[in-house]
Amino acid sequence: MNHQDLEINIEELVLHGFPPVDKYRIGQAVERELSRLFRDEGLPGSLSHEGSADKIDAGSFGILQGAKPEAIGSEVAKAVYRGLGR
């Protein structure tokens, strides 16, 4: 299997409506899920063709009330990954 290194730097992640105390757990969950998505699904379209994405609008996503930070982070990562594919 051919292994390639990929580095993603998320300078700013803006989330509205979530408790500030959960920001690190959400961030860690975003990292884990993005890593999994890149490993399992490969590079999204915008990265495989252009090589970089300066700004990504991941749009919105639904979260059930009372969701744990890990579930929130996972949904954020999926939205970011979809945004990269546009």
Nearest-angstrom CA–CA distance, 19 and 13: 14
Q: Which of 63, 53, 62 has its CA nearest to residue 83?
A: 53
Residue 3, pLDDT score: 57
- In Å, what is the CA distance from 73 to each residue of 28, 59, 79? 7, 14, 10
- The model's confidence at residue 10, banded by pLDDT at 50, 70 and 90, is confident
Distance between alpha carbon 38 and the CA centroid of its chain, in Å? 10
The model's pTM is: 0.78
> Taking a C-beta distance cutoff of 8 angstroms, is the pair 58, 76 a contact?
yes
Residue 52, pLDDT score: 56
Q: Strand, helix or coil at 68?
A: coil
The pLDDT tens digits of the residues spanning 12-66 come to 888 888 888 999 999 999 999 999 999 999 887 666 655 555 667 777 788 888 8
The ranges assigned to domains in the chain are 20-84
> Taking a C-beta distance cutoff of 8 angstroms, is the pair 61, 33 a contact?
no
